[in-house]
Amino acid sequence: MENNIGTVQIADDVVAIIAGLAATEVDGVSSMAGNITKEIVSKLGVKNLSKGVRVTVEDGNVCVDVAINVEYGYAVTDVSVKVQEKVKSAIENMTGLNVTEVNVKIAGVSLEK
């Protein structure tokens, strides 16, 4: 992004953190899902706010892939649509980037709250 003072660059990790936080705010999302390496790191006490999120940014357009665990009893399709809307809105409002896709992968179902 350019303005008359200079340029602003937003790291992909920042966009991923925004997406992860937005997704976990949706009712029915118990947690973000990640690969085994990230699971081990999180158990060692290192907090990773972008766990389960992959972001691709090209020319101001963003494609987001999120992997979530859904709480038992919630409709998967309803939760997924809400996650897509919340993630798109959060990224666009906070960064000014255009979100072209939010792909949601249901990695599991959580039986505990």
CATH value at residue 24: 3.30.70.1350
- CA dist., res. 103 & res. 37, Å (int): 22
Instruction: Tell me the torsion sign for CA atoms 43, 48, 50, 56.
Output: negative
Is residue 98 situated within a structural domain? yes
Question: How many domains are there within the chain?
Answer: 1
The whole domain housing 85 covers 12-110
- CA dist., res. 6 & res. 8, Å (int): 7
CB 42 within 8 A of CB 48: yes
Q: Which residue has the tokens 């118990």?
A: 30
Q: Which residue has the tokens 């081990």?
A: 40
**What's the pTM value of the predicted model, to 2 decimals?**
0.83
Q: Mean pLDDT across the stretch 33-57?
A: 66
SS3 99: strand
pLDDT tens for each residue of 64-91: 999 999 999 999 999 999 999 999 999 9
